Amino acid sequence: MTQHDAEHTDPTPLRIAMVVFPRLTQLDFTAPFEVFARVPDAQVAVVSETAEPVVSDTGLAILPTHTFETAGAADVLFVPGGPGQIAQMTNDAMLGYLRRTAADAAWVTSVCTGSLLLAAAGLLEGHRATCHWLSIDQLSLFGVEPQSSRVVVDRNRITGAGITSGIDFALAVVAKLRGEELAKRLTLQLEYDPEPPFRTGHPRVADAALVEAARRKSAPMLEERRRQSLAAAARLGLSAGG
């Protein structure tokens, strides 16, 4: 018996399904994974369409443990984001898996543009949610109320903002599922005590010129994402206005 096992009093395993896909942003996935994998009695499945290694947008290879067909039920469904999310917005295999798994999951969650994937599957309509600041406006195409917060909890939907919010998000999930005491211990164990060298991590604190430069650099990708969001919303029978 591990120390984690000894500390945990709930004998019911916590089944967490973490979806991966080509060109995801690995920190969207790996930051929450690092937290979830330390939860006593957590069973973390890394789920992909196939069993082949998944390569992130920066070249890190991730090996799935399950496919959509073999993953089984989950208590927590998690979806990351990244440039590869764009292609997944109209991938019937992905959307079907998300819908099937969410139907029985206690919690449906995401980080970054993973919330757009949940929305494309029709899983966030009528909910409040967040996303990366560059794409948060696209949530409204799916009948979702965008909320510019680090972590948003609306009923059993928990969404995290851009990339680095994954740790904040995962700790919030742990607090909901296993209590604040464990979440606090994990925060200490991971030495999560951020002191960013530059206060430019969000438009509300960054210089306007820097924000505009970031928007210009991302413009082609954002336009492609919007086209796919519109196509995904149309498939759900939603108008461009949400």
Query: Is 6's pLDDT higher than 70?
Result: no
Residue type, 179: G
Point out the residues that are catalytic: 112
Residues in the chain: 242
Residue type, 153: V
145 SS3 class: strand
At the top level of CATH, which class does the domain 3-235 belong to?
A: alpha beta
Percentage of residues of the chain with pLDDT beyond 70: 94
Contacts of 115 (CB under 8 A, 6+ apart): 79, 81, 124, 129, 130, 131, 139, 144, 159
Region of 61 (left: φ > 0; alpha: ψ -120 to 50; beta: rest) is beta
User: What are the phi and psi torsion angles at 89 (to 5°)?
Assistant: -65, -25
Cα dihedral 232, 234, 239, 242, rounded to 10, equals: -20
Query: Is 2's pLDDT higher than 70?
Result: no
pLDDT at 12: 81
68-109 pLDDT, tens digit per residue, is 999 999 999 999 999 999 999 999 999 999 999 999 999 999
129-164 pLDDT, tens digit per residue, is 999 999 999 999 999 999 999 999 999 999 999 999
115-137 pLDDT, tens digit per residue, is 999 999 999 999 999 999 999 99
pLDDT at 26: 98
Query: Is 3's pLDDT higher than 60?
Result: no
pLDDT at 241: 52
pLDDT at 240: 60
